Structure 1
Amino acid sequence: MYYEEKLFALFCDLTDNIVEDAISDRVKEAFKKANSIVFELDLHNPSTVETLMQCKNMPNGDDVSHYLPAKLYARLKHYIRKYRQRLASWSNRVGDNKIEARKRARHIYNSVAGGWEQRRPVWLLFLLYQLSEKFAQREHIPMLDLYLAQYAIETNKRLLSIETPTEQCNPLSSIDREQLLFAINYTLSYLEFEQDRLSKRTIEDGSTGLPDLIYHYNCGSLEASIFNLDAKRFNHLGFSLSPELDRKAQQIDLQLREDIIVKRNVRMAKRIAALLRQADSNHYFFALGAGHFLGENSVLDLLETHGFTIQPVTEKDHISFPQLDDKRFQKFTELWIREIPHARDPTIDISVSVIELSSAPSVCHCASRQNVLLIICLLISLARWPGK
């Protein structure tokens, strides 16, 4: 007997114009042909969304003034007010209709900084990280996983989630309260430095790692040296408090990456491997955050440790899709409910292939002339031969 499983994985950190203009029709076809779509969380479940909202905020109606020193709280409040003013100014400048400009500014503010005074320390830190994004980019970043989940439901696909709300609510295990407060103060100091620098140039000239990430990935690189920039996120523009404080900030940043990315990658890879070793004939499409596929200790790297082989597949390679039974699924299945170890079957040959797809309008002029979308497609082939 011979059977195959196909798995495709999509980066979720995409803007809507990238989704429409850059994603290959081949990838869209893969999504349509897949019968199982795996997300980080079931965001169509009201209890999941409620849990996420509750875990981000302080209990009992407390606010950030309960844990932030008075001077730090005053600085943060002043910065948020200035941020909102700059956002309104930018929105008026880029739009003709004042009413729509106000709506745009309000929408972006609420999506990024709304309810900031109620945030727990870790979620306040994450909020500050987002404030350095350009306004225009914040306006066009949709909840792509929500869009894909809705489309999957409409097309009767099986939906699975790979993490629990609790796991995402409490992502940090190695950072204590003192380190969090230091990180909040250091990040705010950087934002104040950036704001002062930008006030001397242009309102929209913010800094972000997203364009660099897209550029390098379009040039065909998943190397850690390109994407492992977290520990240098602050000093690349000349920002520094002191050598000692800078080193402390970099160490905390590395710990954050370990907790937020690497440890979750280990958990995700384990669950993906267990899923793919099940003896069922399925096409899997994984919609996960971009950070889980980039750099060292990525999900791809860790799948290799589970016995999978990673190899590139080009646009010219042929991918066949075995016929599937006409099944109807409309409910999320949580992969984390049961984590039963699966014995390695020596009769199964497992390989994972990364498909590098070129887009029609090239936005990258690399020496290699290789244009790769912000998409990773994984092809899982399992072959079982008769008599074994």
Structure 2
Amino acid sequence: MVRPGGLFRLLVLLLQGSLLLLATARHGRAAGCPLRRKQNQLNSFLWTIKRDPPSYFFGTIHVPYTRVWDFIPENSKKAFQQSHIVYFELDLTDPFTISALTSCQLLPQGENLQDVLPRDIYRRLKRHLEYVKLMMPSWMTPDQRGKGLYADYLFNAIAGNWERKRPVWVMLMVNSLTEVDIKSRGVPVLDLFLAQEAERLRKQTGAVEKVEEQCHPLNGLNFSQVVFALNQTLLQQESLRAGSFQIPYTTEDLIKHYSCGDLSSIIFNHDTSQAGPFWVRARGICWLPGTSAFLSLLFQKSAALQPLSCTQAAKVPNFINATLPAHERITAREIDSYFRQELIYKRNERMGRRVKDLLEEHPDKSFFFAFGAAPHLFHCASTRKL
């Protein structure tokens, strides 16, 4: 039972890191996790606040829903069905969200990327995008083509107007343009699927955040930090193309952990000499804290094209490591510290306050809050895992 006086503190704890797994795998790739298909053997990422009627927190994962839906237990689906009001991180079905996001990404009027980036980085970026456009037809699946998703259309949907985007958004865009990510396009991510289901069931829906609250911190990085991040991103992509680098943890690893109901084996790694900074440590999920649903909408251009999942939108390179020069390690740690403050601490308190207010304003309603799962999410004795 949650005591009223402790509700706000509880909610802040529940939301701590709720939209990402700031993590590296403890034992390398996910291994030896047999996928159990009996419903009574499936672990649940559903928690309850015991009141009358009860309200729920559900931990989502930002991958195509078809990859995990069969492994979500019936108790979670039943809680969703029976709830009166469903809340997400952002309103995934509101056209204004897309419009605001598009505006947020653009450089000031009259500026182009070529005008603001160092010449070498701009040339490398353009060369990499030309490579992606050339390769994309071979990355597409027959199923995608059958749904009307073709290479030119998909490339333009993701990278169209890239010369007008702010460098930080171009960095995220580059990391969404990989073969694995392209092959997964066309199916709603779990969050969006739940939003569509809520709309179909005519449930009342809402969001605990606004686009600008997640967008502005990204645009708040200073120019040298953004150039550093974009350069590291290009270096990683160039190494992947050359075959000299392999991402150690994949979306497949995360899907397996989630489907087995086991995110505890993916932990936060404090060894910053070996791991990336706070905002890029996760492997196979959203690598920017607090932006999962936000980035799942990142490059949507039309209703016919499903939004990018967080895994597709926010993969960024492993910045902090022992091989970086001292001044670059300082830059990486500054970025790390900035995002901790803006997208974790401030954000958690803001979200917690809003959830608390909703529960207190509607004591006779059952809420279903669908936020991204994390290994340290809901570790609180005041909640009961169903």
After superposition, residues 169-248 of structure 1 pair within 5 angstroms as 169-172=215-218, 175-197=221-243, 209-217=250-258, 218=260, 220-222=262-264, 225-226=267-268, 230-231=276-277, 233=281, 234-235=317-318, 240=323, 242=325, 244-246=327-329, 248=331
1:149 aligns with 2:195: yes
Aligned to 1:7: 56
Please tell me whether the aligned partners of residues 58 and 76 of structure 2 are also in contact (alpha carbons under 8 angstroms): no
Please tell me whether the aligned partners of residues 108 and 138 of structure 1 are also in contact (alpha carbons under 8 angstroms): no
* AA at the equivalent of 2:384: S
Compared CA separation, residues 89 and 45, structure 1 to 2 (3 A): closer
CA distance in structure 2 between the partners assigned to 1:20 and 1:260 by the alignment: 29
CA distance in structure 1 between the partners assigned to 2:249 and 2:134 by the alignment: 20
Please tell me whether the aligned partners of residues 106 and 165 of structure 2 are also in contact (alpha carbons under 8 angstroms): yes
Aligned length: 294
Aligned to 2:173: 127
Aligned to 1:67: 116
Please tell me whether the aligned partners of residues 113 and 166 of structure 2 are also in contact (alpha carbons under 8 angstroms): yes
Unpaired runs of 5+ residues, structure 1, are 302-309, 312-350, 356-388
Shift of residue 125, structure 1, vs aligned partner: 2.5
Q: Which moved more, 1:206-215 or 1:178-187?
A: 206-215
Which structure's relative contact order is higher, taking Cα pairs within 8 Å and 6+ residues apart?
2
- Out of 25, 34, 40, the residue aligned to residue 74 of structure 2 is 25
- Out of 320, 327, 350, the residue aligned to residue 267 of structure 1 is 350
* AA at the equivalent of 1:22: F
Please tell me whether the aligned partners of residues 267 and 375 of structure 2 are also in contact (alpha carbons under 8 angstroms): no
* TM-score, scaled to structure 2: 0.64
Please tell me whether the aligned partners of residues 208 and 351 of structure 2 are also in contact (alpha carbons under 8 angstroms): yes
Q: Secondary structure at the match of 1:167?
A: helix
* AA at the equivalent of 2:359: L
* TM-score, scaled to structure 1: 0.64
Shift of residue 159, structure 1, vs aligned partner: 0.9
CA distance in structure 1 between the partners assigned to 2:360 and 2:163 by the alignment: 46
Aligned to 2:125: 76
Compared CA separation, residues 259 and 353, structure 1 to 2 (3 A): same
Please tell me whether the aligned partners of residues 183 and 252 of structure 1 are also in contact (alpha carbons under 8 angstroms): no
Compared CA separation, residues 212 and 263, structure 1 to 2 (3 A): farther
Shift of residue 102, structure 1, vs aligned partner: 9.1
Please tell me whether the aligned partners of residues 57 and 371 of structure 2 are also in contact (alpha carbons under 8 angstroms): no
Shift of residue 68, structure 1, vs aligned partner: 0.7
Compared CA separation, residues 122 and 239, structure 1 to 2 (3 A): same
CA distance in structure 1 between the partners assigned to 2:112 and 2:341 by the alignment: 28
Q: How far does the alpha carbon of each residue in 1:143-183 deviate from its partner, in whole angstroms, 9 at most, with x for none? A: 44333223212212111210112212213386322211111
- Out of 47, 50, 58, the residue aligned to residue 107 of structure 2 is 58
Shift of residue 3, structure 1, vs aligned partner: 2.7
CA distance in structure 2 between the partners assigned to 1:196 and 1:142 by the alignment: 32
Compared CA separation, residues 278 and 16, structure 1 to 2 (3 A): same
Please tell me whether the aligned partners of residues 171 and 230 of structure 2 are also in contact (alpha carbons under 8 angstroms): yes
Compared CA separation, residues 251 and 271, structure 1 to 2 (3 A): same
* AA at the equivalent of 2:57: F
Compared CA separation, residues 110 and 16, structure 1 to 2 (3 A): farther
- Out of 8, 32, 35, the residue aligned to residue 84 of structure 2 is 35
Compared CA separation, residues 222 and 40, structure 1 to 2 (3 A): same
Percent identity reads 30
CA distance in structure 1 between the partners assigned to 2:120 and 2:104 by the alignment: 26
Structure number with larger C-alpha Rg: 1
